[in-house]
Each structure stands twice: as structure tokens, then as C-alpha cells.
Amino acid sequence: MQWETVIGLEVHLQLATVSKIFSGSATTFGAEPNTQASAVDLAMPGMLPVLNEQAVHFAVLFGLGIGAEIGMRSVFDRKNYFYPDLPKGYQISQFQHPIVGTGTFEIQLEDGSTRDIGITRAHLEEDAGKSLHEDFHGQTGIDLNRAGTPLLEIVSEPDLRSAAEAVAYLKAMHSLVTYLGISDGNMAEGSMRCDINISLRPVGTETLGTRAEIKNVNSFRFVEKAIHHEFARQADILEDGGKIVQETRLYDADKDETRSMRSKEVANDYRYFPEPDLLPIVIEDDYVEALRQQLPELPVQKRHRFVEQYALGNYDANVLASSRELADYFEAVVAGCGDAKIAANWVQGDLLGQLNRSELSLGASPVSAEALAGLITRILDNSISGKIAKQVFEAMWQGEGSADEVIAARGLQQVSDSGELESMVDEVIAGSAAQVEQYLAADEGKRKKLVGYFVGQVMKLSKGQANPKMVNELLAKKLS
Amino acid sequence: MHNKSVAQLIAGLRAKHFSSVELTRCFLDRIGSLDPQLNSFISVTEDTALAAAAAADQRLADGTAAELTGVPIAHKDIFCTQGIRTSCGSRMLDNFVPPYDATLIKRFDELGAITLGKTNMDEFAMGSSNENSYYGPVRNPWNTDLVPGGSSGGSAAAVAALLAPAATGTDTGGSIRQPAAFCGITGLKPTYGRVSRLGMVAFASSLDQAGPMAHTAEDCALLLNAMAGHDPLDSTSSPEPTQDYTAQLDNKLDGLRIGLPSEYFGDGLDAATGERIDAALQQLEAQGATLVEVSLPNSQLTIPTYYVIAPAEASTNLSRFDGVRYGHRCTDPVDLHDLYTRTRGEGFGDEVKRRILVGTYALSAGYYDAYYKKAQQVRRLIQQDFMRCFEQVDVIAGPTTPGPAFSLGAKSDDPVAMYLEDVYTLAVNLAGLPGMSVPAGFVDDKPVGLQLIGQHFDEARLLNVAHQYQQVSDWHLRQPAAMTGGAA
Amino acid sequence: MAIEQDEIEKIAELARIRIGDDQIGQVTQRITEILGMVDQLQAVDTSDVEPMANPLDATQRLRADAVTEVNRREAFQAIAPAVENGLYLVPKVID
């Protein structure tokens, strides 16, 4: 049977506040264990939560970013369960009245097509601590530094149909939240983690199958692999006539498999009820309007503008708009050289390729946008060929200076002096009697191919610096 | 010295009639000689109290004294005190020495009060007799066969026995007012949110409120001045401005309208107690007040409503006691589950476990709407009853309890009968109103309390009514015979 | 209303409280009595009544996003039952 994958994602996004959602502890990543856990975070008796203004601000910004309804009166609830990384024995979350209601979110796929994915809701909650399973005499160590870090949990509708769509969704989400500046989006540090709800149904049917939830997947690649793996597992079961058990599974990246989580086997009864230590959050219209005014151009808007303003393809526009930094870089290159098409090729190709190989972020690029624009300008004014430009770029990357400095220092200036070129062409023709004879005997169609030999010889003679267009013209004239 | 009011002690200290060290020594000696009969203290902080008293004397000499400098008081063992064990009457916290102070403790420290010690209480403030303490029951100074009431029974007994001139308490369903009534002292539960809950071990977050317990309304006003105020670290603490709660004490009662809810004077009320309350009300009428009959039609629902909301909130407030970061931990847990269930099974007493189970049940899947949500809706109906009354009257009055103190053990095997003890006090917490208990006489040598209930943030008026009554009555000045000897 | 003993056992498990076999019968009876008393609520018509979570119907105030806490690990862990290398220790957690 042909199966359709139905996927819904829950993204847990750490918000970029300096202090925790309900206490004044720092949220810095990587501190010594329990040095950023205050009496509130440790759930010491009598300690009480007070809500961080910035967390509310970021949540509302997100809601505006996806055009969602803002919960003008939202309520925190307690989600009750026992776990050592949850000091109070409940997580403060939002259940019935989230701060962000329904919205939609446009994603773009590899082929350039777009899809609208429904967002069910997004709510504020606190992160839990970490359990460290290294051996402490057969015990587990608990670090509560992360406990109380603000999270925005973003829940999608089951609108995604493949691993590729899920990854596109996550990349677009990453792009949106970093644009908004509400999260650092650092997946390696767990700033963006993802639970995957996945079920299968026969292609052409509407009823949702029983789903499994895969917890805590924290990279795009693992999301893709976990979905592929889970698809295969569920399809095997269904094709053998079996039934999917609704359960929570864990993706094990080392073994590339999902497995049932024993700790979640007992059906949980979270006993949600309104958190009596906090009061309803009431947001005023003016507040929302002020934030709306502050919204930056968002990735989707930027992508559409790039397509229109610079005549870029959808795919190129999507890549270049994926981060605010990259988009700004690209636009600075365009501003400096005046040719969006070439700028797009250079930024996406050579620049991103080099950054990737060197494992550098854009901010650490040795070649600035202005410098790259300078290089492209020299291509456009025929000072150098595209091929030479690659060498120049390489040298610029190594810190040898601006494009002009490299060109001058290495003598890479394109030869466009007609006298100089003419003498080189004459020299080649003089030394290629047989080829000239062959050329003259050939018909028009064949000549076009044969001329390549002469061009190659001239280029060789000029060490690649001859202006190819002028060489062609001279050859055509001399050989006729 | 020991039979002076806080107001008189402040004056005496300033006039150098006695020093804070002498005063503190006097109360510590009384605790040493009399408390073995009462068990009203869990911890006595003799050394730090005397050191603080010496420092207070210095400040009194320097002229740098604050409002309460040198005045000894006792704190219910529910308020976290840095460096002093805070047990909350539970085995769970028997070894818990907080590394921080409750906001209330900080305020008293800043105003110069001396902490004599931490008073006994029903475990996690759950109880109406003080028989639910891990440290044993407290006895009533008027008759040690009787309970002192609860849960602030240790504070009430200590003040009644003149072991401390005043004490702090907390009231979730009557835990200041009921023991104040049983022990013949004055106690005030302020409006919900008037006093910070930070550092006060939580029982039921939407009901808990700290307040003063003393002999006189004037002393309660002085203590409330110290306690009241917004705390930015408690989201439920009110930003409503405070006032000088002593400022209106001398106002006359002419024109005051006092509402008498018919439901508080019905069949459940002990006849002799009812007579004492009637006499007190007639006295207030003689002082110029008008008595108006009013109705709180949902009164019969207060006990069921309270016994859903309070256990539900408590069941999750007490989840933090898990043996991981502080407090009791069972020995050699075999696994995580064993750590949790055995630590909590051992650490909590029977009544606390019962309430956790009832609360867990009320919040569990399938029952939430029928219990918790329903109780929250009825809670609003109960509050609306009061709001309607306050359209007609300034203050509501009635008995604090259905009868005087009962014997130890009389109700300890019957939780529901015990819960009925709070029938007149619970509604005040559900509605978030301020309430007081004022000594109003005796029935068979057992004290009886008159309850006064005010509008939100109208503490000053309650204190005014109580103070005026205390100008023409002396019930609040009576002292238990067995306690007047000792080391005074 | 009557509540079965196995239901009390389930609730006790949710609340992570061990109740001895010798006590479960009595606990069940007491809780049945309490819930019986509480069941009076079911008769009340509350169809148009907004639940009341806070007696003042107040709304949340917000604090500025600033770090106000310092590291007090030593003081906090001095009262902990089991710590090592700054971590709280618990019996092995199995995911």
C-alpha cells in the first residue's frame, strides 16, 4: 500500500532573555552546574514566580510574525508530574488560554514551491533542568541551571507530509525567530528543540492514523532521519496488519532508531489547573500595536521582495532571505556592484561554500560585502574574467587585500589593449599553419568549433588574462 | 513586663523603663518554665534573640530605633527564617534550615523586632486543633485538656500564655481567627494579597494570608503596619497602597452598619456561645452601631468549596517535597519511584496525605470540571453574597467558631467533623476578605471569639471596631490563671 | 459517593505517596467521607458563573528582564540530601 505521512511539530524555542521566565537567574548557556539556579528555580519552600516582561514581549512578537491571534488575556497553568529535573513537581505552562492563538506560516520547498502550514497555538512555559547520566555510582546527577529558562512552545497543525517539508518548516521557523531576535536559534545548545508527531494513512484517505510522538530532536538532520526511520517502522507494522500504539518515543541519534520511552509508559494525568501563584496576563491593544510597528521585514516578505526587486528565482531568494545577516550582506553586495544576479551567485556559491568549508559564520567572513562588491565590479568592467575572479577571491579570503590590490599585486589585470592582443593573435596564427589551413577549408559550422583552438592558444600565451571577447573578434577578422 | 501590650512595650523601651535584653530574657524565661505544658514553640532562638536584643538596646540608646526596635515576638514556623529551622510542623522539613528569610521576617527584622522562636502549628497549616503537628499537639493555656485551635495554635497559645506579647500566624481557612477565638486573643487575617506570601511555605496559594495575633486590636494594627505592603516578588501581592492601621482606631462607631448573616446564627451555633456573641453585638449597638440582618445564602457551600480548592492547590504546592534538594529523604531508595513514594509517605502526616489525595483526585482527568471548576464557580457565588451584603453594611459580624475549644482527641479521628469547625471562617478566605476574631467572653471558662468581616482592604475599619469594643470590654485582658505565675 | 480502593491507589501513585497495605482501607474510607461532603457542590447551578481563581480578580504584573540573582550554590546545596560535583543526586533515571 502507498502510505501518506502526516506530521505535526511542536517546537520548543528558548527565548533570548537574559534572565529566567519566573526568576532573576541568568540564562547563560554552559555555566557550572546549579550556579544559575536560584531559590525560585530550586523550588525552595515559599518561593514564588514573577513573570519576565521580555518573555511576554517576545511571545507577542512571534504571534505578530505569523499573523496569529494574540491572546489578550492568557493564563498560566500548572502541568503536574514528578521528575527530578522538574523541581516544583509541576511545570508552569499555558493550557487553555495560550498567549498566541491560531496563525499560518508559509514555507518553501526545495523546488521553489510554497505551502501554508497551520499554527495551532504558541504558549509560554518554563524549561526543565537536565539529568546527567554519567555514572555517579549508578546515580543520576541533576543540573537545574536550565530550569526556568523561558520557552515558547509552537504547535503546528498536522499539515506536513514529508521529512523534507518538516525540515523546510523548521528552517523557516528558525529563520523567522532569528529575524525577530526572540531566540538565538542555537540548535546545538538546545535553543530550538522539536517533538515530532507522526502517523501514516493510506494515500487518498482523510482519517488520521494513530500517532507516535518522538521527543526532543535537536537538529534538522536528526528530524529528517527520525521521520524516515519512524515512517519505515510504522509502515512495517501496518503492512503486517498490526496496530500503531500511541506512545512517546525517543530518537537515538547514535543508533539511528526510535525507541519507546519507558519513563513515559505510565499514562500521565497532568492535572492542569490555573497557576494560583500567577495572575492572568492582560495585554493592551496599544502594546500590541507598538510591537507591530517595530516588526522587521520578515523572511517571507523579504523573499518575495527579492524575487520582485532583483528578479531572483524563488530558490535563490529563499536561501538569501533565510537569515537577516545573509540578506543584509547580499543587499550590501548588490548596492556596491549594482548587479543582483551576479551578486546572488557569488554570495550563494563562493561565499557560502567557503564559509562552510572553513566552518565560519557569516559574521566571521574574511571577505566583507564591500570587498566582494569590489571584486564583482572588476568582473563587470572587464578588468578580470570570471575565472580569474575565483583566484582573486581565494586570495582575498587568505587576507591578501582588496580585489584591486590582489589584481595589481599578482598582475591579473585583463589584457584589453588591442595592439598587445593583436600581436599575440598574430603570433598564434603564425605558429599554427596546419590549423589555419584546416580552418580555411572548413565550412561555417565547423569553423565555429575550430576557432576555439586559437582562442585557447591566445589565452595560454596571455596567462589567462586576455580579454576573451576581443580575442574572438580579432581572430574572426584575421582568419577571414 | 510580660503582661504589657506591644504598644506599652514600645513606650516602656523608649522611656527606658526596661531594656530589650531584660524584656527578651523575661519572655525566654517564661517560655522555659511554662512552655513544657503547652508545647507552643518548635524552636526557641535564645542566643540570637538575646544578641538582637542587645543590639536593639544600643539602637534605643543611640536614638536610631525603628518602630518595633527591641520588641520580642514569635513567628509561626511556616515563615522561612535564614539559619533557623523552619519545619512547618512536618517531619518533611524537620531538618530544613532555610538559606533565606520570608519577606515578612525581613520586614520585622528591619523594624527591629526580636524573634523569640518559631511556634508550633498543624503540619503545613492543615488542621483546626494543632493536633496534626509532627512535634506533638499544642495545649490551650486556659485548660490544657483543650486544643488551642489551629493551624496557628502555637502562636495563639504563646500569646495567650504571655510567652510572647504578639505573634505572626497564617490563615487559609480560619487558622488565625479560630485559634485566636479558642485562646482568647485578638487575631486578624488581612485581605488576600495584603501581606507578602514570599517565603511563607504555601498551603493553598489563592487562600493563604499572613496576619498578626496579639492581645489587643491596637497591637494587631501595629503589627499589620509592619507586615502589610506590596512585594514585587509575590505576583499575588496587592499594589493597593497601605495606610497607618492605627490611625482610625479612635473613631467612634456612630452610624456604623453591622450586618448579621442569619446563616451564622442558626442551628450549628452553640447556644451559650451565641449568647456571648449577642451580648458583644449589643455592646457595639450601644456604642452607636446599627445592627442589620443580612443573608449569605451560599454559606452551606463554603465547606465543600473550600475542601476542593484548598486540597487541590495544596496537592501540587506540596509536590516540591520530593527528597531531592532539601528536607526529608528516605534511606537507601532503590529507584526513583521508591525515593518519591517513600520520602513522601514517611515525610507527610495523615491529614496532609489525605488532603493531597483529595486534591489530586479533584484535579485528575475526568473530575476537574465536576470538582475544581465547579468549586471555583461556587467560590464566585460565595464572594458575590458578601459583595451584596456590603452594599447594605460596613462590617459583617458573627461568631468565629460554632463553639468554644474542644478537648484534645475529641475530633481527631473524624476529619469531616473537624472541618465543620471552620464553618464561619472559610468563606472569608474564599472571598479574599479581611476578617478578625476579637475576644467576646467565656463559656464554661473557655474563651469565645466575635468575628468581624470587612470589605477588601478595609482592615483599618475592622481594627477600629475591635479597638472601640476593647475600650468598653476587658475580655482581651483576661489571663489564664495557670499562666500568670511562672518566672515573671 | 463511594470510591474504590484501587482508585485511591491510582491517586496515591499520581501523588507519589506510599500508603501501607494496613492503612489503605482506612484512607479510602476517610476520603470517601470527604468526597461525600464535597459532592453537595454537584447540586448547584453554576451554568453562567465565571470560575474564580483569584479573589481580587487582579492581573499579572511583569518584572524587567534583568539578572538579580547571584550564585548561591554552596548555601543551597549545604541543605541537600545528596550532591556531588555541584549536582543533585537521585537514583538512576531511565528515559
Which residue of B360, B364, B373, B455 to mutate against C (max C Cβ within 10 Å)? B360
pTM for this entry: 0.92
Residue pLDDT, tens place only, A84-118? 999 999 999 999 999 999 999 999 898 888 999 99
Strand order in the sheet with A192-202: A103-108, A114-126, A150-156, A3-14, A192-202, A212-217, A247-252, A257-260
pLDDT at position A198, please? 96
Determine the Cα–Cα distance for residues A251 and A216; give it in Å rounded to an integer. Answer: 8
- Whether A470 and A477 have beta carbons less than 8 Å apart is answered as no
| Buried-state track A184-199, b at ≥16 Cβ within 10 A, e below 16 | ebebeebbbbbbbbbb
**Per-run averaged pLDDT (10 residues), chain B, 488 residues:** 94 97 98 97 98 98 96 98 98 98 98 98 97 98 97 98 98 98 98 98 98 98 98 97 97 98 95 98 98 97 97 98 98 96 98 97 92 97 98 98 97 89 96 98 98 98 98 97 64
Which residue of C65, C84, C93 to mutate against A (max A Cβ within 10 Å)? C65
CB nearest to C60's CB, from A42, A144, A281 = A281
Spatial neighbors of B413 by CB under 8 A, at least 6 apart, are: none
pLDDT at position A433, please? 85
Task: Tell me: pLDDT of A184 over 50.
Answer: yes
* Cα nearest neighbour of B318 on chain C: C15
Residue pLDDT, tens place only, A16-28? 999 999 999 999 9
User: Which residue segments constitute the domains of chain B, with CATH numbers given?
Assistant: 6-251+471-483 (3.90.1300.10)
From first CA to last CA, the distance across chain B in angstroms is 8
**Local structure of B438: helix, strand or coil:** strand
Determine the Cα–Cα distance for residues A39 and C75; give it in Å rounded to an integer. Answer: 10
pLDDT at position A440, please? 85
Grid coordinates representing A184 are: 538565538
Backbone angles phi, psi at B207, to 5 degrees: -125, -30
A299 touching B, CB under 8 A?
no
Selection from B432, B450, B476, B446 nearest residue B204 by Cα: B432
What is the rounded average pLDDT for all residues in chain A? Answer: 92
**CB-CB neighbors (< 8 A) of C71 in chain A:** 35-36
Quick check: ipTM above 0.85?
yes
User: Helix axis angle, A314-321 relative to A324-337, nearest 10°?
Assistant: 110
Query: Given an 8 Å threshold on Cβ–Cβ distance, is B456 in contact with C56?
Result: yes
Q: What is the mean pLDDT of residues A145-174?
A: 97
Selection from A200, A179, A184, A133 nearest residue A16 by Cα: A184
Q: What is the mean pLDDT of residues A39-43?
A: 98
Of the pLDDT bands very low, low, confident and very high (cuts 50, 70, 90), residue A444 is: confident
pLDDT at position A34, please? 98
Selection from A310, A467, A475, A462 nearest residue A379 by Cα: A467
C62 touching A, CB under 8 A?
yes
Determine the Cα–Cα distance for residues B15 and A475; give it in Å rounded to an integer. Answer: 118
Task: Tell me: pLDDT of A302 over 70.
Answer: yes
Residue ranges of chain C whose pLDDT lies below 70: 1-2, 95
Query: Given an 8 Å threshold on Cβ–Cβ distance, is B86 in contact with A273?
Result: no
DSSP state of C50: P
CB nearest to A48's CB, from B204, B235, B325 = B235
* Cα nearest neighbour of C34 on chain B: B416
* Cα nearest neighbour of C66 on chain A: A19
The minimum CA-CA distance between A88 and chain B, rounded to whole Å, is 4
Q: What is the mean pLDDT of residues A217-244?
A: 93
**CB-CB neighbors (< 8 A) of C52 in chain B:** 376-377, 379-380, 383
The string of DSSP codes covering A56-115 is HHHHHHHHHHTTPPB-SEE--EEEE---TT-TTSEEEE-SSS-SB--EEEEEE-TTS-EE
Determine the Cα–Cα distance for residues A248 and B254; give it in Å rounded to an integer. Answer: 69
Strand order in the sheet with C83-84: A130-136, A139-143, C87-91, C83-84
CB nearest to A87's CB, from B79, B233, B320 = B320
User: For cell 495554635, what's the residue?
Assistant: B153
Selection from B125, B115, B118, B113 nearest residue B149 by Cα: B125
CB nearest to A52's CB, from C65, C89, C95 = C65
Determine the Cα–Cα distance for residues B66 and B48; give it in Å rounded to an integer. Answer: 19
Query: Given an 8 Å threshold on Cβ–Cβ distance, is A47 in contact with B198?
Result: yes
Mode of pairing for the β-strands spanning A150-156 and A114-126: antiparallel
User: For cell 502589610, what's the residue?
Assistant: B228
Q: Report percent pLDDT > 70 for chain A.
A: 99
C80 touching A, CB under 8 A?
no
pLDDT at position B486, please? 43
CB nearest to C90's CB, from A32, A51, A139 = A139
* Cα nearest neighbour of C74 on chain B: B99
Residue A445 sits at the vertex; the CA angle it makes with A440 and A447, to the nearest 5 degrees, is 35
The minimum CA-CA distance between B350 and chain C, rounded to whole Å, is 9
Instruction: Tell me the residue type at C12.
Output: A
User: Helix axis angle, B153-160 relative to B20-38, nearest 10°?
Assistant: 120
| Residue positions of B annotated with a catalytic role | 76, 151, 175
The minimum CA-CA distance between A119 and chain B, rounded to whole Å, is 26
pLDDT at position A134, please? 74
A132 touching B, CB under 8 A?
no
Instruction: Tell me the residue type at B188.
Output: L
Query: Given an 8 Å threshold on Cβ–Cβ distance, is C93 in contact with A131?
Result: yes
Of the CA atoms within 13 Å of residue B421, those in its CB half-sphere come to: 30
DSSP state of B184: T
pLDDT at position B488, please? 38
Of the CA atoms within 13 Å of residue A272, those in its CB half-sphere come to: 9
pLDDT at position B58, please? 97
Which residue of C5, C8, C34 to mutate against B (max B Cβ within 10 Å)? C34
Query: Within the 30-89 window of chain C, which residues sit less than 8 Å (CB to CB) from chain B?
Result: 30-31, 33-35, 37-42, 44, 46, 49-56, 58, 60-61, 63, 72, 75-76, 78-82, 88
